[in-house]
Amino acid sequence: MTVRTAKNKSGRPAWSLKIENLRRGRQLNQAEFGSQLGISAMAVSRWERGVAEPSGEIYIRLGNLAGDPLCWFFWKQAGLRLSDVTRVLPGVSRRLSETKIPELNFVRAGARANPVLKKESLVAIPFLPVHAGTPGHEGDNIDLAEVSPESVLAAPIEWCPNPESTVCLRVKGNSMIEDHICENDMILVENTQEARDGDIVVALVSGTDTTLKRIYREPGNVIRLQPANASMNPIRLPAHEVQIQGRLLAVLRKY
């Protein structure tokens, strides 16, 4: 099942333009391009005119042909999420972290700053423009693996057992107040779908809302997302409607 995209000012869908740009960028005619994908020149022509859309299988082939970064557009059109790809291909996650995070510059404040601070004692964590919400405060509807960072946070390596899969985002609302997690706190999250009962996780609920809760598994393949605020009710959903995006590692607060 492919993902539909809106048309632009030219009247052609974005996927149509990107396919044509990919072909022209490789300096191929439609027959040569089609041959690399195992389809006819007529099919390529129909895509580029926007009158027929490639199948999911062809979108995956287009992504393989395109390489970074255009591959992510085509794979998403095929219905794949970036987090799915990085889970199956861990090397992709490492490569993405290397390309997203710039070199850190360490500033030592004051004449008595410790001159033996080593770069290896800190790791660069992407700070994402994403909020994990609570009841009454909707979080952002987004796959964490697909977001480009707005800045970078240097964190002690002891905080991050897997630095290449750790991100930082903000909290929205106070459903976790009794766990001392408040509105606008920054949280370090390890991007993983593995979590034990009682772990605090960032989850995408029903594909629409990123939320921060404790997770529990109940009989009947039900997930309970439990707030740490006595005035709020838990969320209970079938397991297939809850996508765990990460596990909480640490909470940071600006005073």
Mean per-residue pLDDT pooled into runs of 10, the chain (255 residues): 45 88 92 93 94 90 82 79 56 51 44 45 77 57 65 79 82 79 85 86 76 91 88 87 87 77
Q: Is 88 a domain residue?
A: no
Q: What's the sign of the alpha-carbon dihedral 198, 200, 202, 208?
A: positive
Strand partners, 144: none
Residue 133 sits in the same domain as residue 69: no
Is the domain of 117 the same as that of 241?
yes
> What total of structural domains would you count in the chain?
2
- CATH number of the domain within which 23 lies: 1.10.260.40
> Does residue 231 share a domain with residue 131?
yes
- Same domain for 243 and 130, yes or no, is yes
Of 23, 56, 80, the position where a domain reaches its end is 80
Catalytic residue among 35, 76, 175, 254: 175
* 213 part of the active site: yes
Residues 55 and 139 in one domain: no
Task: Give the C-alpha distances (Å, rounded to integers) separating 1 from 19, 55, 59, 60, 157.
Answer: 18, 8, 11, 12, 41
pLDDT of residue 29: 95
Domain extent at residue 203: 113-252
User: What value, to the nearest 5°, has the Cα angle with vertex 68 and ends 64 and 71?
Assistant: 45
Choosing from 18, 76, 172, 213, which is the catalytic residue?
213
Residue 110: the pLDDT is 39
pLDDT confidence of residue 90 = 52
**Helix, strand or coil for residue 149?**
coil
Same domain, 210 and 156: yes
Q: Do 163 and 217 belong together in one domain? A: yes
Q: Which residues contact 112 (CB under 8 A, 6 or more apart)?
A: none
pTM value > 0.85? no
Q: Is residue 174 part of a domain?
A: yes
The reply to whether 223 falls in a domain is yes
